[in-house]
Structures are given as C-alpha cells and as structure tokens.
Structure 1
Amino acid sequence: MSTIDGLLARTPAPIRRLALRHHELIKFAMVGGTTMVFDMAIFYSLSLTILEQKPVIAKVISGTLATVLSYVLNREWAFKNRGGRETHHEALLFFVISGMGVVLQAAPLFIANNLFDVRNHASVAALVVIDFILGYIIGNVLQMVFRFWALRKFAFPETQGDEDAEIEALATGQVTIGDADPDALGRR
C-alpha cells in the first residue's frame, strides 16, 4: 500500500470522496504553490537588484521561468491522467494559456507602477509589500482561476474514459490508487 493510499484509507469517507473528486484541483494548487515560491525567488532577486526600476520586466521573466516549471509538473503529475492531444499541441496550448496568465498576474503591478507611479513614492520595504500583494496575491488569484479553467478545457481535456466511475471506486475503497487502471482515467 502506498503512502497516499494509507492516508486516504485513514481519512473519513466524505473527505476522502471530496479529495478524490477534486484531486486535480488539489494537485494544481500544490504545483502552483511550488512554482509561486520559485517565481518569488527569481522576481525578488531581479527586482531588488538589476531590474530595480523595472519590476514588470522582472515579473514577466520570473513568471515565464515559473511557467516552464509549471508545465513539467502539471503534465507529469497534476493532469497526468488527461490527454488526447499530441504533445506539441498540448505544450503550445499550455504556454499560450500560461502566457495569458503571466499577463494577468503582471497586470496589477503594471497598473500600480505605470498609472499610479508607486516606485517613486514608496520605500524599499513598502515596495516589497506592495509587489507581494499586487503580484502574488491579486495577480496569482487572477491567473490561477483563469489557468485552471483554461488548462482543463483546452490543453488537458478529458478523454473518453469514465473518470467518475474510477473516482467512485477509489473513494469507496473498491480499488486503491496503485491498482487503478490508468487507461480508465484516460492516460495516454
């Protein structure tokens, strides 16, 4: 029995069913948390040093690098049971959708810096807080909602398999995750 199977076996049935039904959202959120930390490390490294006067450029660079990491983690883990598209088509859709997400995430920073000129009116400590709120709270919420919807709809669509029956079998303990048939979930 795997660690995840063991944890699920000890989880109350209603919570287990909820977790299994929303497993993609949970995994997507975990990937998002990981890439957010990666994104923040790069953004602050750039925006507090060589791109101090250009935070939007720093955000686009960090967002682009985090997007590459996100593709690998989402493809291989969060949405591994989805597919139906050629890999190059899927990757193109993922990066177009994620590019739109990077723009959505950078929009609050762009507005604050170009319409309200906050860089010339705030201390470094205040800028760190402002950048965090605009880029990582407001911006991430905007792009996360958009990307989760668009990735499931366009880049990683459901295949012909009956995923609901598989989830119900997992939730009721009739089959364990290790025993689940990946083809039944649409794995390529």
Structure 2
Amino acid sequence: MRFVTGLYRRFAHLVHEAAKFGAVGAVAYVVQLTTTNLLWSALDAPALVGQAVGTVVATLVAFAGNRYWTFGHRARTGLGREYVLFFIMNGVGLLIQLACLWAAVYGLGLDGPLARNIAGNVIGVGLGSLFRFWSYRTWVFPAGPRDPREPEEPGEQARQGA
C-alpha cells in the first residue's frame, strides 16, 4: 500500500493535469463531433473538410479551458506565444486525425457515417489527443516558476517532502 501511496504522491500533479485535460477535451470533443457531423450530414461536406472545420472550432474552445484551467498553474510565457504554439500543436493533432480518416475513406473505401466517425473521431482524436497532451505540457504551457500569488497545485507539498 505504501508503494501505491508513494506513486500517487509522486505523480499527483500529472494525474490532476490529465484529468483536467480530459474534462476540457470532453467538452471540445462534443463541439467537434457536433460540428463535424453537421457539416457531413446537413451540408454534405467532404470527409476531410468536415473533420478539419470541426477540429478547428473545437480547438478554440479547448484553448481557453487548457490555458486557464488545465495548465493554469504553470508558468505564463505570453498569450501570443501560447496561442501560436497551441494552434501549431493542434495542427499536428489535426493531421493525425486526417491521416486516420483518409486511410479509412480513401485507402480502405469505408465512407459511411460510422466508418468516418470511428476513423476520424475515435481513432484519430484518440491518437491526436495523446500528442496534444504531451506537446502542451512540453512546449505550450511549460513547467516553470510559479507566481507566488497563485494557489498551490494539489499535491505540491507532498512532492516537496513537506
């Protein structure tokens, strides 16, 4: 039991960030699914266009949630820098999604609504999200000195040995 407690204390900050990232991602995912499927069904948009537009709209929602809540305790490196890097990393995530969708629709010939959603919105979003979480933590919202006026992150005292 001591081992598990020690692991939790050591990785509590990562667990909390991942949970917040997942919550923000869930909201953005609903926005992305709704937008993408509306474009596909109501406007008969091509597969890749619907996926791209839906993801861009969701990215706008995700930026605010991730900057101010998920990674709000991390160093601030400037809104402009964070915004540009966030959209670049989301561009890479979008390319991952589009590659999965392209493989299903154009590579395997699976072009029904279910196939599009599984390829682009389940597999593509899943792989893209792994990349996004890692890249946000690494480049967009890097760890650094915290403003002493901000409240401590949960588990901070445990990591410092207090």
TM-score class, shorter: 0.7 to 0.9
Partner SS state of residue 118, structure 1: coil
Task: Please say if 1:142 is aligned against 2:127.
Answer: yes
Q: How many residues align?
A: 151
TM-score of the superposed pair, with normalisation by structure 1: 0.71
Q: Which residue of 1 aligns with 2:90?
A: 98
Q: Which amino acid aligns with 1:35?
A: A
Cα distance between partner residues in 1 of 2:54 and 2:61: 11
Task: Please say if 1:86 is aligned against 2:74.
Answer: no
Q: Which amino acid aligns with 2:118?
A: I
RMSD (CA atoms): 2.7
Q: CA deviation at 1:30?
A: 0.8
Q: CA deviation at 1:20?
A: 5.0
Cα distance between partner residues in 1 of 2:153 and 2:37: 45
Instruction: Identify unmatched segments of 5+ residues in structure 1.
Output: 1-12, 120-126, 175-188
The partner residue of 1:31 within 3, 24, 33 is 24
Task: Please say if 1:169 is aligned against 2:154.
Answer: no
Q: Which residue of 2 aligns with 1:76?
A: 68
**1:123-144, CA deviations, whole angstroms, 9 ceiling, x for partnerless residues?**
xxxx222122111221112101
Cα distance between partner residues in 2 of 1:19 and 1:129: 37
Q: CA deviation at 1:64?
A: 0.4
Task: Please say if 1:132 is aligned against 2:145.
Answer: no
**1:38-97, CA deviations, whole angstroms, 9 ceiling, x for partnerless residues?**
110111111112134x01100000000000110011011101011241210111101100
Change over 3 Å in CA distance of 1:166–1:42 after alignment to 2: closer
Whether the aligned pair in 1 keeps the contact of 2:97 and 2:120 (CA below 8 Å) is yes
The partner residue of 1:160 within 128, 138, 145 is 145
Q: CA deviation at 1:116?
A: 2.6
Q: CA deviation at 1:21?
A: 4.8
TM-score of the superposed pair, with normalisation by structure 2: 0.81
Q: Which residue of 2 aligns with 1:49?
A: 42
**% identical aligned pairs:** 27
Whether the aligned pair in 2 keeps the contact of 1:51 and 1:57 (CA below 8 Å) is no
Cα distance between partner residues in 1 of 2:122 and 2:91: 18
Q: Which residue of 1 aligns with 2:53?
A: 61
Cα distance between partner residues in 2 of 1:33 and 1:43: 15
Whether the aligned pair in 2 keeps the contact of 1:21 and 1:167 (CA below 8 Å) is no
Instruction: Identify unmatched segments of 5+ residues in structure 2.
Output: 147-151
